[in-house]
Structure formats: C-alpha cells, structure tokens
Homo-oligomer: A and B are copies of this chain.
C-alpha cells in the first residue's frame, strides 16, 4: 500500500526524490555536550540519508551504550531504533538483519563500546560480512563514564603523542581491513564534505561497511598542555575534586581537499594531523591500504577517506543461502510442514 506524504511538510523546504524534507530525517533534541563531535556525525547521517532518499522507516538504527550510542535518538525520528547493551550492538544487528534483509542497518558505536567490551562481536560481525553500516564515533575515551582512556589511540591529543602511550592503541580500521571488511573508511566528525559522501557510500554498500570517525570529546580531553583561559577552571575543578564543569564549546569543523594534509586544533588546544587520501591509493587492495595507513601513522598523520572497498562483497544472507523474501514475512503456510509430514517423521522413530 502507499501512504500520503507526511502532511506537516513545509512547502518551501527542499525535498528529495521521495518528496521528503530533511525534517523527515531528523530526530529528537540531543542531550550531548554542546560541541560534541557526535552531534556533527548525527547531522551528517541525516544529510546522507536525505540525499540518498532512503525511506526513513526502512532504516533500523542500532547502538550499544555510551554517549555515541545515545545518538540514534537524535537522528531519523521515523526509524525504529534499538539502544541495546554495552558492546553488543553487532549481535543484535545480526539477528535483526537475518530477520529482514530488506532494511538498511546503521549501527552506531563508540570506541569503548567496540574496542573494549565489544571487540569480540565487532570482529565476528566483520567476519560474517553482515550487510550493515558500522560507525565508530571515536573519541579515544569513555565519555559517558567521565573520560577514562579507551583502547583506541588517544585521538586528537598531540601532547600524548610524545610520551609513550602506556598500551598499544588498537586501530579499528587496520583490524577491519585485516579481518576482511568489504568497505573501510576513516573520517573526522567536523568534516562534513568528506563524511557525508562516505556515509552515503557506506549505506549504499551491499556488505559490511566500517567507518571510524574521529569525534573529539569536548569534555574529557584530560591533557595538560592547554589554553590559558581553561587552566583557571581546571585548577578550580581539580581543587574541588568535582568534574561537573563543562564549558560551552563550538563544534570543530574542518575542510580540506584530497591529497592534502590538514592541522585541526581541538578544544584543549592540542592538534591532530589529518591527511585526506588521494586518488593514488588503490582502494581495491587491502595490503596497500594497510601499508599506507601504517606509513602515515609513522609520520604522525592520520589517513582519512575511503581506504578499501570490495565492489562485490558477499552478504551473510548469500553465505547462509536464505530466500529473497524477508524471513520475518514468511507466512505460516510457508513455514509449517503440517501434520502429514509429522506423521511420517513419527514413523521414522519407531
């Protein structure tokens, strides 16, 4: 059946091929900190889905637990969402996807949610080549529990780069590449120009698409080298032993063109060096991608952009060999063999 287009639509707002306005892709008000990178990513998702003209209700928004995992509430208000438990989003998406292959699955996770408690499920979701878009909103810390280090590199903290990182940081992009993900990209929350197209490509990709998005936590960038004006406040908080003061911040945005590098200054004054991938990289060769990111890393730079794509990935449904009709739509008649068959089965047990 078809439905009337949402009638609260404003005639003047631009609409996409389906006649939806961007409003139809927005969610409820964010409760994240002002200037949190995660909100920029939500906005990029809204933009990407609008431009792709996906039917909002054909998307399922899945997440674990964390500030990042809260964001599905803040985009695609007409989609069903599932904020599951910490680190287990991949398994829930796997089940949901098996139930209905005709929907778009966008999984949002954090670096804690994925690289720590969720590592096992992440690895196996990649291995199964589940048809989904897996976004890690990577801030190198546990935002929601007030800023403990996470297992990913201390993204965006220059000062940290000097002193030996106590633990080998986990590079989820490298892992995804090595584990055979069919679409692997990295971006920066504030770089709409790069992020939106990447999201569109990922959502359109008929296999497992992984995007690691560097997304600064404006609140818990616990590093010393910091701007004067902030010092006063930090001293104050240290003295009072309370960490409940979060200065209002603006989101950090950047824009630079392919093949070039870009310095991005974060809220605490520290700097990260992004390098936007140029066309030179053969995005159909895993090993060269792995080598290149390693190479840039050694040069203190973070390579961003689409790093690898396999044009014909095998989706888990092909591997399993399920029918084209969504399993959840199969009717009783199609599923239940009936009593005659059962009587023959009985016979085989006599």
Contact partner of A124 (CB less than 8 A), chosen from B119, B178, B290, is: B119
Decide if B168 touches A319 in the complex (CB within 8 Å). Answer: no
Decide if B167 touches A151 in the complex (CB within 8 Å). Answer: no
Q: Does A180 contact B (CB under 8 A)?
A: yes
Decide if A170 touches B128 in the complex (CB within 8 Å). Answer: no
Copies of this chain assembled into the complex: 2
Give per-residue flags for A280-312: 1 if the beta carbon is below 8 A from chain B beta carbons, else 0.
000000010011001000000000000000000
A285 to B249, CA, bound (A): 43
Give per-residue flags for A35-58: 1 if the beta carbon is below 8 A from chain B beta carbons, else 0.
000000000000000000000000
Decide if B128 touches A119 in the complex (CB within 8 Å). Answer: no
Q: Does A6 contact B (CB under 8 A)?
A: no
Decide if A151 touches B127 in the complex (CB within 8 Å). Answer: yes
* A116 contacts across to B, CB distance below 8 A: 120, 124
Q: Does A103 contact B (CB under 8 A)?
A: no
A117 to B167, CA, bound (A): 23
A81 to B291, CA, bound (A): 41
Residue of chain B at shortest CB distance from A177 = B178
* A123 contacts across to B, CB distance below 8 A: 119, 123, 170
Q: Does A11 contact B (CB under 8 A)?
A: no
* A178 contacts across to B, CB distance below 8 A: 174-175, 178
Decide if A128 touches B180 in the complex (CB within 8 Å). Answer: no
Contact partner of A167 (CB less than 8 A), chosen from B128, B175, B290, B291, is: B128
Q: Does A179 contact B (CB under 8 A)?
A: yes
A264 to B: closest C-beta gap in Å: 26
Residue of chain B at shortest CB distance from A286 = B294
22 contacts between A and B (CB under 8 A): A116-B120, A118-B120, A119-B124, A120-B120, A123-B123, A123-B170, A124-B151, A126-B168, A127-B151, A127-B168, A127-B170, A128-B167, A129-B167, A129-B168, A166-B319, A168-B179, A170-B179, A175-B175, A175-B178, A178-B178, A287-B291, A287-B294
Q: List residues of chain A with CB under 8 Å of any chain B CB.
A: 116-120, 123-124, 126-129, 151, 166-168, 170, 174-175, 178-180, 287, 290-291, 294, 319
